[in-house]
Amino acid sequence: MNRHEHSPIDSTTVSFVSGGQRCVASFYRPPGSGPFPVIVMAHGLGGTRIMRLPAYAERFAAAGYACLVFDYRHFGDSEGEPRQLLDIGKQLADWKAAVAYARTLDEVKPDQVILWGTSFSGGHVLVVAAEDARIAAVISQCPFTDGLASSLAMQPLTALRVSVRALRDRIGAALGAAPLMVPLAGRPGETALMNAPDVWAGYRALVPPGATIPDTVAARIALDIIRYTPGRMASRIKAPVLFCICNTDSVAPAKTSLRHARRAPRGEIQCYADGHFDIYVGDGFERVIRDQLAFLRRHVPAR
């Protein structure tokens, strides 16, 4: 059992199998007697489950929702070689495996599975919910909805440098070479998947003090991101969906996210005068968690 500092909520390390490999997760059990609704959670681009996701899970669990927070294959504590390989198809498969595992847990209600995604995973949850009519509700925070829009938000020279590195990595992979890495977060002008002015400090604010987390991924993902448009699946989701959109988002442009969000049949939209990383910490976090809890209480009451 691991107790997070200043938290009355315990988390237990569990695991499930996806694609023949083990995905490691933290299971947060609410106080009291179950069974409970369960929120399945995972991080965004290159993130792991210890990067501020415990703050959300602890608040959800305190309100009566079990949480299953997992690491994708190739990241964090989960299996998968090479390390730091970001593969969209594999990550979607990991989400489906996590949902299937959650439904087997004795202390959860299998018909009350909720998906929570942020940034890149804010797009993944739209795809998974569109393909699973049993999902009870979805929360999509600062969501990546359109790869072309996010790519166009990059500086042209940076986009060119990243693309060249991605092509070299893809060719190297075909020849059996080790992955060629690219930084996830950089300062303006640096070669990285994200390098807007708020990225460098914002990304590092998510890393727990003293933790060492790789901040690179195999560069080939840049060739896939531009073609990934999970926002198109919003119109097919039967469950209620809460879109938490940051008006000044430098990574997932708000205008495009709003366009996709408005197509969800049971979509609800909350906009914030914040940047992409602001709603993970401080007052921004308090605002967004308040709205997310209110949404959950309306659609999937815990008690």
pLDDT in tens, 220-266: 999 999 999 999 999 999 999 999 999 999 999 999 999 999 999 99
Instruction: Pull the structure tokens for residue 293.
Output: 């809890």
The answer as to whether 193 is a domain residue is: no
Report the CATH number at residue 261: 3.40.50.1820
The answer as to whether 269 is a domain residue is: yes
Instruction: Identify the band that residue 155 occupies on the pLDDT scale cut at 50, 70 and 90.
Output: confident
Instruction: Identify the band that residue 5 occupies on the pLDDT scale cut at 50, 70 and 90.
Output: very low
DSSP conformation class of 194: B
The Cα–Cα gap between 210 and 101 comes to 31
Q: Which of 295, 267, 299, 270 is nearest to 284 (CA)?
A: 270
Instruction: Identify the band that residue 141 occupies on the pLDDT scale cut at 50, 70 and 90.
Output: very high
> Helices 88-102 and 120-130: crossing angle, nearest 10°?
60
pLDDT at 151: 83
For residue range 30-50, what is the model confidence (pLDDT) as tens digits?
999 989 999 999 999 999 999
Please count the structural domains in the chain. 1
The answer as to whether 207 is a domain residue is: no
The answer as to whether 233 is a domain residue is: yes
What pairs with residue 197 in β-bridges? none
pLDDT at 148 over 60: yes
Alpha helices by DSSP H, the chain? 53-62, 88-102, 120-130, 147-152, 156-174, 199-204, 221-225, 254-261, 282-299
The answer as to whether 179 is a domain residue is: no
**Domain of residue 295, residue span:** 2-155+229-299
The answer as to whether 49 is a domain residue is: yes
The answer as to whether 194 is a domain residue is: no
Query: Residue 285: what are its φ and ψ, rounded to 5°?
Result: -60, -45
For residue range 276-301, what is the model confidence (pLDDT) as tens digits?
999 999 999 999 999 999 999 999 99
Q: Could you give the percent of the chain with pLDDT greater than 70?
A: 97
The answer as to whether 184 is a domain residue is: no
What does the mean pLDDT of the chain come to?
94
Q: Which of 154, 94, 149, 143 is nearest to 267 (CA)?
A: 143
What pairs with residue 185 in β-bridges? 194
Q: Which of 126, 144, 138 is nearest to 233 (CA)?
A: 126
Do the Cβ atoms of 57 and 28 come closer than 8 Å? yes
pLDDT at 8: 65
Dihedral angle of Cα 3, 50, 132, 29, to the nearest 10 degrees? 0
Q: Which of 193, 44, 46 is nearest to 121 (CA)?
A: 44
Do the Cβ atoms of 9 and 32 come closer than 8 Å? no
Instruction: Identify the band that residue 152 occupies on the pLDDT scale cut at 50, 70 and 90.
Output: confident
